[in-house]
Protein backbone atom coordinates (compact mmCIF):
# COMPACT_ATOMS: atom_id res chain seq x y z
CA UNK A 1 0.00 0.00 0.00
CA UNK A 2 0.88 3.66 -0.19
CA UNK A 3 3.11 5.20 2.45
CA UNK A 4 2.36 8.20 4.62
CA UNK A 5 5.25 9.50 6.66
CA UNK A 6 4.69 11.60 9.75
CA UNK A 7 7.43 13.55 11.47
CA UNK A 8 8.47 13.79 14.22
CA UNK A 9 7.36 10.60 15.91
CA UNK A 10 7.89 12.09 19.34
CA UNK A 11 8.30 15.65 20.52
CA UNK A 12 8.57 17.27 23.90
CA UNK A 13 8.10 21.00 24.10
CA UNK A 14 7.78 23.66 26.75
CA UNK A 15 4.46 25.19 27.57
CA UNK A 16 3.82 28.28 25.47
CA UNK A 17 5.89 27.22 22.49
CA UNK A 18 4.63 26.04 19.10
CA UNK A 19 5.18 22.67 17.52
CA UNK A 20 4.88 21.70 13.86
CA UNK A 21 4.04 18.18 12.74
CA UNK A 22 4.52 17.15 9.14
CA UNK A 23 2.56 14.58 7.17
CA UNK A 24 3.87 13.48 3.79
CA UNK A 25 2.50 11.11 1.20
CA UNK A 26 5.60 9.48 -0.20
CA UNK A 27 4.40 7.73 -3.32
CA UNK A 28 1.06 9.24 -4.19
CA UNK A 29 -0.63 12.61 -4.41
CA UNK A 30 -2.93 13.23 -1.49
CA UNK A 31 -5.81 15.46 -2.46
CA UNK A 32 -7.26 15.19 1.02
CA UNK A 33 -5.52 14.81 4.36
CA UNK A 34 -7.05 14.32 7.76
CA UNK A 35 -5.73 15.10 11.21
CA UNK A 36 -6.81 13.08 14.22
CA UNK A 37 -6.14 13.31 17.90
CA UNK A 38 -6.10 10.25 20.10
CA UNK A 39 -6.33 10.37 23.86
CA UNK A 40 -4.95 7.48 25.92
CA UNK A 41 -7.02 4.33 25.50
CA UNK A 42 -9.59 6.17 23.43
CA UNK A 43 -10.62 6.35 19.84
CA UNK A 44 -9.48 8.78 17.20
CA UNK A 45 -11.15 12.15 17.14
CA UNK A 46 -11.14 13.86 13.77
CA UNK A 47 -9.82 17.37 14.16
CA UNK A 48 -9.87 18.68 10.63
CA UNK A 49 -9.90 17.86 6.95
CA UNK A 50 -7.56 19.63 4.58
CA UNK A 51 -7.60 19.80 0.83
CA UNK A 52 -4.60 20.91 -1.15
CA UNK A 53 -4.60 24.63 -1.78
CA UNK A 54 -7.63 25.47 0.33
CA UNK A 55 -8.42 26.20 3.93
CA UNK A 56 -8.90 23.31 6.29
CA UNK A 57 -12.34 22.37 7.53
CA UNK A 58 -12.35 21.98 11.29
CA UNK A 59 -14.65 19.76 13.31
CA UNK A 60 -16.88 21.29 15.89
CA UNK A 61 -15.05 22.18 19.06
CA UNK A 62 -11.58 22.26 17.51
CA UNK A 63 -9.88 25.65 17.78
CA UNK A 64 -8.62 26.58 14.34
CA UNK A 65 -6.38 29.32 15.70
CA UNK A 66 -4.68 26.87 18.00
CA UNK A 67 -4.32 24.00 15.56
CA UNK A 68 -3.09 25.54 12.32
CA UNK A 69 -3.28 23.28 9.30
CA UNK A 70 -1.57 23.94 6.01
CA UNK A 71 -1.86 21.74 2.93
CA UNK A 72 0.42 23.56 0.56
CA UNK A 73 1.11 20.71 -1.83
CA UNK A 74 -0.32 17.38 -2.87
CA UNK A 75 2.26 15.56 -0.79
CA UNK A 76 2.54 17.64 2.37
CA UNK A 77 0.25 18.81 5.13
CA UNK A 78 1.38 20.35 8.40
CA UNK A 79 -0.30 20.72 11.76
CA UNK A 80 1.05 23.43 14.03
CA UNK A 81 0.03 23.41 17.67
CA UNK A 82 0.40 27.02 18.73
CA UNK A 83 1.10 28.14 22.29
CA UNK A 84 1.01 24.57 23.45
CA UNK A 85 -0.19 23.69 26.93
CA UNK A 86 -0.01 20.43 28.88
CA UNK A 87 -3.60 19.61 27.97
CA UNK A 88 -2.52 19.52 24.31
CA UNK A 89 -0.35 16.51 25.08
CA UNK A 90 -1.71 13.71 22.96
CA UNK A 91 -1.08 11.36 20.06
CA UNK A 92 -1.71 13.07 16.74
CA UNK A 93 -2.23 11.01 13.60
CA UNK A 94 -2.62 12.10 10.01
CA UNK A 95 -4.11 10.19 7.14
CA UNK A 96 -4.18 10.80 3.43
CA UNK A 97 -6.49 9.82 0.64
CA UNK A 98 -5.34 9.62 -2.93
CA UNK A 99 -8.39 10.99 -4.73
CA UNK A 100 -12.04 11.75 -4.36
CA UNK A 101 -13.31 8.24 -4.86
CA UNK A 102 -15.38 7.37 -1.80
CA UNK A 103 -14.01 3.93 -1.21
CA UNK A 104 -10.38 4.81 -1.68
CA UNK A 105 -8.38 3.61 1.26
CA UNK A 106 -7.06 6.20 3.66
CA UNK A 107 -3.41 5.65 4.61
CA UNK A 108 -2.25 6.61 8.05
CA UNK A 109 0.98 8.06 9.30
CA UNK A 110 2.83 6.56 12.22
CA UNK A 111 1.58 9.21 14.59
CA UNK A 112 3.28 11.89 16.68
CA UNK A 113 3.31 11.76 20.44
CA UNK A 114 3.36 15.32 21.74
CA UNK A 115 4.26 15.98 25.35
CA UNK A 116 3.99 19.53 26.62
CA UNK A 117 5.85 20.18 29.87
Q: With binding defined as CB under 8 A, does residue 25 bind another protein? A: no
Interface positions, 51-80, toward another protein (CB under 8 A) = none
Task: Look at residue 11 and give its three-state secondary structure.
Answer: strand
- Among the listed residues 8, 49, 52, 70, the single contact to another protein using CB under 8 A: 49
Q: Residue 27: left if φ>0, alpha if ψ -120 to 50, beta else—which one? A: alpha
Q: CB–CB of 21/33 below 8 Å?
A: no
Which C-beta is closer to another protein: that of 16 or that of 26? Answer: 26
- Among the listed residues 40, 41, 54, 65, the single contact to another protein using CB under 8 A: 41
Closest-CA residue to 115 (of 93, 85, 94): 85
Interface positions, 92-111, toward another protein (CB under 8 A) = 93, 95, 97, 100, 102-103, 105-111
The dihedral over CA atoms of 59, 38, 71, 27, expressed in degrees to the nearest 10, equals -140
Residues contributing to the site for another protein (CB under 8 A): 1, 4, 6, 32, 34, 41-44, 46, 49, 93, 95, 97, 100, 102-103, 105-111, 113
Amino acid sequence: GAVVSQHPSRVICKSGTSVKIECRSLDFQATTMFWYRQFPKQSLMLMATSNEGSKATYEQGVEKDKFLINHASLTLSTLTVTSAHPEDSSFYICSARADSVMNTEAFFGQGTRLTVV
